[in-house]
C-alpha cells in the first residue's frame, strides 16, 4: 500500500474500510468536482476560509455516508460552511452528485479517518458544530474499542469546538445509545444544550437508513451537547 492509500486507512478503529467501484456518472461527477471541493486527509491545517472562499461558521459532519443529511442540512443553512468526512468513496461520489445536481455551494468533502482530521487538520476552538449521525455501533463486545465515540474522542471533539459550539449525535442502536449517553455526559467540557439556543440547525432529514430502523422497531436517540466555558 502506498503512502497516500495508507493515510486514507491509517487504522481500523472507528470505521469499516469499505471499497467499491463508481458508476460512470459518479466517476464523471467526481472528476469534475473533486479537484475543487474534495481532499484526502493530510497533515496541513484546514484553511476553511480559503477553501470555501468566505468566512462562516464551520461544521464537520463525521461519517456522511451517501450525503442525504449533508446536502439537505447544507441547503437549509446557506450561511454555514459544512465539511463532510467519509471513508467510503461511492458514498462521497453520491454526495458529489447531489452537490452538483442541486448547486450546493457550502459543502466540502474530506476522505479519510475523522479522528485524523480532528487531530491534525482542525485547530482548537475553531468549530461551531460537529455532527455524528448513526456511527457504526461495532456491536460485538470485543469490538467496542473500535467505536468512534469513546471518551478520548469526545474530549478531542470538545477541544475543537468553540465555546457554545454544538455536538449533535444520533444512533438507532440501543447498546451504543447507552454507551454514548454515559460517555458523552461524562465529558466535563460538554453539557446538554437547550435546542432553542443552538447556533446551528438540528433538524435531520429522515434517511432511508433511519426509515429502515423505524420499520424494524429500533428507537432513534439524539443528543445535543454544547461546549461550556472552561
DSSP states along 200-222: S-------HHHHHHHHTTPPPEE
Q: Is 136 a catalytic residue?
A: yes
Instruction: Give the C-alpha separation, 109 to 18, whole Å.
Output: 17
Q: Is the pLDDT of residue 172 over 60?
A: yes
- pLDDT bracket for residue 146 (50, 70, 90): confident
Catalytic residue among 40, 102, 116, 136: 136
Mean pLDDT, rounded, for 155-167: 98
Enter the C-alpha cell of residue 47.
484553511
pLDDT category, 132, cuts 50, 70, 90? very high
Q: What is the pLDDT of residue 19?
A: 53
Indicate the CATH number of 3-227 among 3.40.50.150, 3.30.379.10, 2.120.10.70, 3.40.630.30: 3.40.50.150
Residue boundaries of the structural domains of the chain:
3-227
Q: How far, in Å, CA of 77 to CA of 195, rounded?
A: 16
DSSP tag of 73: H
Least confident interval from 29-33, 34-38, 112-116, 140-144: 140-144
Using the predicted structure, report yes or no on whether residue 174 has a pLDDT greater than 70. yes
Residue 3 has pLDDT above 60, yes or no: no
> Which tens digit of pLDDT belongs to each residue from 70-104?
999 999 999 999 999 999 999 999 999 999 999 99
| Mean per-residue pLDDT over the chain, rounded | 89
Q: Is 229 a residue whose pLDDT tops 90? A: no
On the question of pLDDT at 217 being above 90, the answer is no
Query: What pairs with residue 102 in β-bridges?
Result: none
Q: How confident is the model at residue 144 (pLDDT cuts 50, 70, 90)?
A: confident
Residue in this structure with the C-alpha cell 442502536, named with its chain if needed: 173
User: Is 16's pLDDT higher than 70?
Assistant: no
Share of the chain above pLDDT 90, in %: 76
Of 210 and 26, more confident: 26
- Helix H or strand E encompassing 102: helix 89-102
Query: What is the per-residue pLDDT for 112?
Result: 95
Classify the C-alpha dihedral 70-176-167-197 as positive or negative. positive
Q: How far is CA 65 from the centre of its chain?
A: 9
Q: Return the residue matching grid coordinates 482548537.
A: 124
pLDDT value, residue 169:
97
Whether 4 shows a pLDDT value over 60: the answer reads no
Q: Identify the CA nearest to 134 among candidates 34, 223, 7.
A: 223
Strand order in the sheet with 58-62: 38-40, 107-111, 81-86, 58-62, 127-133, 161-171, 221-227, 190-192
Residues above pLDDT 70, as percent of the chain: 88
pLDDT band at 9 (very low <50, low <70, confident <90, very high): very low
Does the pLDDT at position 192 exceed 90?
yes
The answer to whether 76 touches 203, Cβ cutoff 8 Å, is yes
pLDDT of residue 101: 97
Amino acid at each position: 500500500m502506498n503512502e497516500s492509500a495508507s493515510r486514507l486507512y491509517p487504522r481500523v478503529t472507528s470505521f469499516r474500510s469499505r471499497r467499491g467501484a463508481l458508476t460512470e456518472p459518479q466517476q464523471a461527477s467526481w472528476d469534475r468536482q473533486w479537484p475543487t471541493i474534495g481532499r484526502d486527509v493530510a497533515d496541513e491545517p484546514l484553511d476553511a476560509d480559503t477553501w470555501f472562499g468566505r468566512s462562516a461558521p464551520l461544521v464537520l459532519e463525521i461519517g456522511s455516508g451517501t450525503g442525504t443529511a449533508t446536502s439537505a442540512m447544507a441547503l437549509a443553512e446557506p450561511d454555514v460552511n459544512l465539511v463532510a468526512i467519509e471513508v467510503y468513496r461511492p458514498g462521497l461520489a453520491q454526495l458529489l452528485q447531489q452537490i452538483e445536481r442541486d448547486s450546493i455551494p457550502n459543502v466540502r468533502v474530506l476522505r479519510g479517518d475523522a479522528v485524523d482530521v480532528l487531530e491534525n487538520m482542525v485547530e482548537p476552538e475553531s468549530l461551531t458544530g460537529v455532527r455524528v449521525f448513526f456511527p457504526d455501533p461495532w456491536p460485538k463486545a470485543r469490538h467496542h474499542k473500535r467505536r468512534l465515540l469513546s471518551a478520548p474522542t469526545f474530549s478531542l471533539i470538545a477541544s475543537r469546538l468553540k465555546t457554545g459550539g454544538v455536538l449533535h449525535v444520533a444512533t438507532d442502536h440501543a447498546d451504543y445509545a447507552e454507551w454514548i449517553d454515559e460517555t458523552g455526559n461524562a465529558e466535563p467540557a460538554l453539557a446538554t444544550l437547550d435546542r432553542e439556543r443552538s447556533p446551528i440547525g438540528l433538524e435531520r432529514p429522515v434517511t432511508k437508513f433511519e426509515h429502515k430502523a423505524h420499520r424494524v422497531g429500533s428507537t432513534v436517540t439524539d443528543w445535543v451537547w454544547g461546549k461550556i466555558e472552561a
